[in-house]
Amino acid sequence: MSTKTEPGRAGPLFEDFLKEQGTYEATTEQAVKRVLAFQLAAAMKDQAISKVEMAKRLETSRSQLDRLLDPDNDGVTLAVLARAAKVVGREIKLELR
């Protein structure tokens, strides 16, 4: 395992471990999807938007919305996530580093 450390921290970074295991990209993608699904569900709750109403606003079915909000479903496209974010008055911000 790598010995790269963050300033002020002892020991290897978990990120380095995931890279060495070959799972960094998949793990990162899954984590981002989980966060977005959680944030969409929280925005719906804050705005008292039911799943039925959200599905209507997205012009989709309730089962499709359930797949969108499922943090384990990695088949959701960025376009669908952006559309859902817009429905709750949010936007997705991505950057390349």
Count of structural domains within the chain: 1
Indicate whether this model's pTM tops 0.85: no
CATH number at residue 43: 1.10.260
Task: Please indicate, yes or no, if residue 33 is contained in any of the structural domains.
Answer: yes
| CB of 36 closer than 8 Å to CB of 92 | yes
Stated as kind and residue range, the H or E segment containing 66 is helix 62-69
Instruction: With a cut of 50, say whether residue 2 has pLDDT above it.
Output: no
| Cβ 92 vs Cβ 82: under 8 Å | yes
Residue 3 inside a domain? The answer is no
What length is written for the chain? 97
In a domain, 8, yes or no: no
Which residues does 22 contact at the CB level (< 8 Å), separation at least 6? none
Between CA 60 and CA 43 the distance in angstroms is 18
Interval 16-68: pLDDT, tens: 888 888 888 878 888 888 889 999 999 999 999 999 999 999 999 999 999 99
Show the domain range for 74. Answer: 14-87
Give Cα separations from 63 to 8, 52, 82 (angstroms). Answer: 47, 10, 18
Looking at the domain assignment, is residue 36 inside a domain? yes
User: How high is the pLDDT of residue 96?
Assistant: 65
Assess if residue 54 is contained within a domain.
yes
| Confidence bin at 10 (pLDDT 50/70/90) | low
* Residue 94, in any domain of the structure: no
DSSP state of 89: T
